[in-house]
C-alpha cells in the first residue's frame, strides 16, 4: 500500500453532483452505478454516503461479489442492489445469495428468466428485465417479447418490477444517431407491447451518463448514472459544449516527488535508456503501472507549480519520470506533493485524450496499492 500516493475522494462533491443531476431530473429515482469499486473510488464509502446523506436507495453492481461486499460491509443500511452482468443465477451459491442477502439479479437472457420464473423460492422476487434494443452485448432480444410475455403469464405474474435497456452510443447525439433513435423506438414499443398484453410495468430506465447529458429518458421512472456522478463528461467533445453538466471530479490523484535531478540534452533516463531531447530537469514521482499509472501516460503533459512537464521514458512498476524545462528546477522539491488530476473536469478529459484512454479506464485502472482516502472538502 502507498502512503503519499493516494486518491483523495471528496464525498461532499458527490452531494453537489447529485444535486446538479436532480435539478434536471427532479422526478426520477437514481439507480447509482457503483460497479468496479465505484469506478475506482471506493464503493463501500461511496454507497454509505449516498444512502445516509443523499437518500439514494438503489445501486448497480456488475458482479454478485461486489453486491455481497456491500451487504456485508453495510449490514444496517436500507438499500437495494442490482447485479447487472455477472449474474450466474443458476449456481447454487449465487441462488442462495440472491435469496438470503437481498441482492437482485438483472435478467438479461431467456435461460435466467426461465430459471427465476420456475424456481419456487423466487416467486415473490422482483422481476427485472434488461432488453437488447441494439447494444448487442447483453439483454433479451426485442423479437422475443411475445415469448417473454407468455412465460411471465404462465408463471402467474402480471407485472415487471423494472424494465430497462442500455444505449450503445450515448456519447453521440442520440437524437441524430440512427442506432440511438432505433434503440429509443424499440424500447418504447416494448413498453407498449407489455402494457397492451396486460403486463404492468412498475419502473423503467434507459439513461446512463451520456444520455443524461442529452436529457434523454425523461419518460422513465429511473435514471442510471455512473461516470457523471464521479465528475467527468461522458459525451464526445462536440456535444460537451451543449451539455448542461457542470459537475466536478470527486477525486484528486496525488503522489509526491521522490527525486529531482538536472539532465543535459542526449542524457539517457530509466529503463530503455530514453534520450533526453533538451537540457532540463527530471522529477521522479511515486506512481507506476503497479499503481495503475500505466505506460499509456508516457508522453502526457502534467502541470506542477505552473510548469508543464512531460512523462518521459518508460513508466516503471513503481515510478515514472517527468521532464521539465530548466526554469522549473527551483520549484521542484523532493518530498513535495505532485497532483496528477484534481477536481477540474477539462484537464482530466485532456489527460484521457492524451493517453488515448477512456476516462472510465483512468479511474478503474488504479490498483489497490493506491489508498482511497474519503474526505469532506471544506
Kindly list the residues in this chain that would bind ligand PLP in the complex (CB under 6 A).
33, 84, 166, 208-210, 224-228, 234
- Minimum Å distance from CB 2 to ligand PLP? 26
Comparison of 105 and 226: residue with beta carbon closer to ligand PLP: 226
Is 117:155 a contact under the CB 8 Å cutoff?
A: yes
Would you say 365 and 294 are in contact if contact means Cβ atoms under 8 Å apart? yes
Name the 3-class secondary structure at 38: helix
Nearest approach in angstroms of CB 234 to ligand PLP is 5
Give the integer Cα–Cα distance in Å for 251 and 230: 8
DSSP letter, residue 276 = P
The least distance separating ligand PLP from the CB of residue 312, rounded to whole angstroms, comes to 32
The least distance separating ligand PLP from the CB of residue 350, rounded to whole angstroms, comes to 19
**Calpha distance 33→223 (Å, rounded):** 10
Angle, in degrees to the nearest 10, between helices 92-100 and 64-73: 40
For cell 477525486, the residue is 251
45 vs 208 by CB, closer to ligand PLP: 208
d(CA 278, CA 267): 9
Shortest gap between Cβ of 158 and ligand PLP (angstroms)? 26
Minimal distance, residue 232 CB to ligand PLP, in Å: 9
CB-nearer residue toward ligand PLP: 23 or 330:
23
Report the alpha-carbon distance of residue 51 to residue 274 in Å, rounded. Answer: 50
Cβ distance to ligand PLP smaller for residue 162 or 224: 224
Q: How many helices (H) and strands (E) does the chain have?
A: 13, 21
Q: Give the residue at shortest CB distance from ligand PLP.
A: 226
Which CA distances in Å does 241 have to 103, 126, 160, 235?
Answer: 39, 40, 38, 10
Query: Cβ contacts of residue 54 below 8 Å, gap of 6+?
Result: 14, 15, 18
Q: Which is nearer to ligand PLP, 226 or 288 (CB)?
A: 226
Q: Closer CB to ligand PLP, residue 209 or residue 294?
A: 209
Amino acid at each position: 500500500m502507498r502512503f503519499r500516493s493516494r486518491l483523495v475522494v471528496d464525498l461532499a462533491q458527490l452531494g453537489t453532483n447529485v444535486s446538479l443531476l436532480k435539478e434536471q431530473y427532479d422526478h426520477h429515482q437514481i439507480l447509482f452505478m457503483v460497479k468496479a469499486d465505484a469506478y475506482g473510488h471506493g464503493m463501500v464509502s461511496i454507497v454509505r454516503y449516498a444512502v445516509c446523506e443523499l437518500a439514494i436507495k438503489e445501486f448497480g453492481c456488475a458482479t454478485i461479489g461486489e453486491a455481497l461486499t456491500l451487504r456485508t460491509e453495510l449490514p444496517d443500511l436500507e438499500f437495494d442492489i442490482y447485479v447487472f452482468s455477472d449474474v450466474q443465477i443458476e449456481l447454487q451459491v449465487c441462488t442462495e445469495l440472491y435469496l438470503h442477502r437481498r441482492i437482485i439479479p438483472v435478467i438479461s437472457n431467456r435461460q435466467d428468466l426461465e430459471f427465476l420464473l420456475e424456481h419456487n423460492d423466487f416467486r415473490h422476487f422482483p422481476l427485472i428485465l434488461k432488453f437488447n434494443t441494439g447494444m448487442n452485448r447483453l439483454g433479451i432480444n426485442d423479437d422475443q417479447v411475445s415469448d417473454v410475455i407468455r412465460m411471465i403469464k404462465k408463471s402467474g405474474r402480471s407485472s415487471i418490477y423494472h424494465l430497462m435497456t442500455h444505449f450503445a452510443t450515448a456519447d453521440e447525439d442520440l437524437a441524430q444517431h440512427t442506432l440511438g433513435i432505433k434503440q429509443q423506438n424499440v424500447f418504447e414499443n416494448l413498453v407498449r407491447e407489455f402494457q397492451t398484453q396486460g403486463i404492468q410495468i412498475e419502473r423503467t430506465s434507459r439513461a446512463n451518463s451520456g444520455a443524461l447529458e442529452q436529457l434523454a429518458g425523461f419518460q422513465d421512472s429511473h435514471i442510471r448514472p455512473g461516470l457523471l456522478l464521479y465528475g467527468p463528461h461522458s459525451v464526445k467533445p462536440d456535444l460537451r459544449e451543449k451539455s448542461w453538466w457542470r459537475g466536478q471530479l470527486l477525486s484528486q490523484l496525488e503522489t509526491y516527488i521522490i527525486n529531482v535531478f538536472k539532465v543535459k540534452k542526449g542524457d539517457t533516463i530509466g529503463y530503455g535508456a530514453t534520450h533526453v531531447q533538451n537540457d532540463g530537469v527530471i522529477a521522479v514521482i511515486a506512481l507506476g503501472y503497479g499503481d495503475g499509472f500505466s505506460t499509456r501516460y508516457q508522453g502526457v503533459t502534467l502541470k506542477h507549480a505552473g510548469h508543464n512537464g512531460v512523462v518521459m521514458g518508460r513508466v516503471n512498476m513503481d515510478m515514472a519520470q517527468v521532464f521539465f524545462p530548466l526554469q522549473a528546477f527551483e520549484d521542484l522539491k523532493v518530498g513535495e506533493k505532485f497532483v496528477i488530476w484534481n477536481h477540474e473536469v477539462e484537464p482530466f478529459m485532456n489527460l484521457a485524450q492524451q493517453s488515448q484512454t477512456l476516462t472510465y479506464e483512468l479511474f478503474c485502472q488504479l490498483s489497490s496499492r493506491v489508498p482511497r482516502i474519503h474526505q469532506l472538502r471544506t
